[in-house]
């Protein structure tokens, strides 16, 4: 039974990894999506054009992009680590308690890393978004069964960051 739960955990981690790799700009590579992407880009560009009253000391687009990219990278790295740990746990026949301990440690470290990244954000909206992701991951690290939480809570975090973490 443990081998199947470790395999399921590895699948959840892989799903999160794949979700985290879906960048908003990658979808426009499909020629069928090009007109819609061009229209969305034009609309976003027009909306992003600063008005004369815009504050020159406001958050920079480069900072937001860097913080969002790094948050995504941190989630991908943690997902890989979780998948690797799950595979190793199967080979070493770790107990569920040992696997939970590893998973809790990985999740707690990821939450800490995301909090540090949130502190780098100039845009308060991005800071709050990444901080909220860290809080959600703290919930998973504190869960009695972090593997169960991964299937319900963790998989939504990369989707939300991909959708909302941008300029």
Q: Estimate the share of the chain in helix, then strand, then coil, as percent rounded to the nearest 5.
A: 85, 0, 15
| List of the chain residues with pLDDT < 70 | 1-58
Tokens encoding 59? 């958050």
Q: What pLDDT was estimated at residue 97?
A: 87
pLDDT digit string (tens) for 89-129? 888 888 888 888 999 999 999 999 999 999 999 999 999 99
Does residue 78 sit within a domain? yes
Does residue 45 sit within a domain? no
Q: What pLDDT was estimated at residue 157?
A: 95
pTM, 2 dp: 0.67
Does residue 151 sit within a domain? yes
Q: What pLDDT was estimated at residue 79?
A: 93
Does residue 86 sit within a domain? yes
Does residue 81 sit within a domain? yes
Q: What pLDDT was estimated at residue 57?
A: 58
Range(s) of the domain holding residue 98:
2-23+61-164
Q: What pLDDT was estimated at residue 58?
A: 67
Overall number of domains in the chain: 1
């Amino acid at each position: 039974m443990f081998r199947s739960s470790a395999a399921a955990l590895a699948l959840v981690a892989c799903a999160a990894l794949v979700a985290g790799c879906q960048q908003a700009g990658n979808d426009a590579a499909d020629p069928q999506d090009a007109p819609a992407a061009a229209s969305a880009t034009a609309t976003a560009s027009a909306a992003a054009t600063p008005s004369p009253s815009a504050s020159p000391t406001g958050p920079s687009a480069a900072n937001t992009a860097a913080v969002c990219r790094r948050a995504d990278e941190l989630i991908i790295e943690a997902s890989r680590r979780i998948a690797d740990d799950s595979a190793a746990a199967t080979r070493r026949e770790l107990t569920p308690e040992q696997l939970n301990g590893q998973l809790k440690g990985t999740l707690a470290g990821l939450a800490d890393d995301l909090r540090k990244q949130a502190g780098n954000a100039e845009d308060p909206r991005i800071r709050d978004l990444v901080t909220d992701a860290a809080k959600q991951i703290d919930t998973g690290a504190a869960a009695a069964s972090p593997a169960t939480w991964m299937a319900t809570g963790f998989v939504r975090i990369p989707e939300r960051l991909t959708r909302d973490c941008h300029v």
